[in-house]
Amino acid sequence: MAGTPENDHPNAYIKVPVDEAAAQIVGTIREIRPHIVLTFDEGGGYGHPDHIHASAATVAAFHAAADPNYAGSSLEPWAASKLYYWAFPKSRMKEWINGVKELQPDSDLANLDPDQLGMDDSLFTTVLDTSKYKDIRRRAIAEHQSQYSPLDRMPSKDLEDMYLSTDYLIRAYPKEGSPEETDLFEGLDI
């Protein structure tokens, strides 16, 4: 997190210049040719420096991948159709923090101000039902061994299920489109 010594390590992701990170992502976009690109919101979901950096690099790459004059990749340009920010709605963050305060009052998370976390609910354009993937998501999270699992910090099974059952996204590009999507490919002719 911001202000921690890990951010000062010379190999920390945030030490990589955004344009260098973006160049690698441009190469991936041009090679894979996705219709949809996902990244964290500009605030990194909850202020995580690596997530903020990844968002900046991905947004830059999304636009650069489509630019035939971009010199950072020799692959054919590719314009993905949509760019989304994955984020937490303020209402969900409040539920989580209030659940922590009630069930785990001694937790460091109980001291967080829920009004400072998440994005305004009105910004969300897309809500995905991911409930049929809960078990797969649990296994994927368990593989992320370099950090603690966010599920370890869930104060109840109900909140954990809620977290794993729904994803909230903000369509960053194009801005126009259906205000309430339930499918990332909605409106695409593919």
Confidence (pTM): 0.87
Q: What residue spans of 33-185 are helical by DSSP H? A: 44-47, 49-65, 90-103, 134-143, 157-165
Sheet strand arrangement including 36-40 = 36-40, 82-86, 166-173, 126-129
| Sole residue written with tokens 């209402």 | 91
Question: What are the domain boundaries of the chain?
Answer: 1-86, 89-123+130-166
Task: Give the pLDDT confidence of 103-136 residue by residue, as tens digits.
Answer: 888 877 778 887 888 889 999 999 999 999 988 9
| Sole residue written with tokens 């260098």 | 20
Task: Give the pLDDT confidence of 48-98 residue by residue, as tens digits.
Answer: 889 899 999 999 999 999 999 999 899 999 999 999 999 989 998 888 888
